[in-house]
Amino acid sequence: MKVDNEKLIELISEKQIKNKVEEIAASISKIYDGEAPILIGILNGSFIFCADLVRALDIDCEIDFIKVTSYKGTQSKGTVRLRKDISAIITDRHVIIVEDIIDSGLTIKFIRDRMHEAGPKSVAIVTLLLKPDIAKLDFDIDWVGFEIPPEFVVGYGLDYDQKLRNLRGVYRLEGIESE
């Protein structure tokens, strides 16, 4: 898919993201000082956010990844499928789930519940983006980078059919409707 630049409307700049990542990393570093939490990045979308976050931390940490699917194009399929599980043992560990975006909350709930089953010391969640108007959550998100309207967005790891992840900011894709 080729997207014309005029169809991309910047919502969050590269500089805003960088500043927010540093702010979140400082908070995480303070809370987990003396600990070595394990960050669980949700593939594929969170890999850029997760990498930047880990590099900004001032504490020891480990990293692992989990991959689930619930989207095709811009539409949530309503079910979550596990594609790749974590390989680390998280029992009695501090776990921080790293998500790129929380839309309905279905994916993050699935992963949070899965992590709790393994008996960690704690489970915290950090997301770059949250759509509060459509997220149906019965738990808090520990760190939210930016709250955005219920629009379909791309860039900084977020994709449209696996494209546009490489954009340095977050953009609304003009003419694309989000569910």
DSSP the chain: ----GGGEEEEE-HHHHHHHHHHHHHHHHHHTTT---EEEEEETTTHHHHHHHHHH-SS--EEEEEEEEEEETTEEEEEEEEEE---S--TTSEEEEEEEEESSSHHHHHHHHHHHHT--SEEEEEEEEE-TTT---SS--SEEEEE--S--EEBTTB-BTTBSTT-SSEEEETT----
**CATH number, domain 5-173, options 3.30.1050.10, 3.40.720.10, 3.40.50.2020, 3.90.550.10:** 3.40.50.2020
Identify whether 103 is a catalytic site residue: yes
Q: What would the pLDDT profile of 118-144 be if each residue is shown by its tens digit? A: 999 999 999 999 999 999 999 999 999
Q: Catalytic: which of 103, 133, 140, 161?
A: 103
pLDDT of residue 179: 46
Q: What would the pLDDT profile of 38-53 be if each residue is shown by its tens digit? A: 999 999 999 999 999 9
Per-domain boundaries in the chain:
5-173
pTM of the model: 0.91
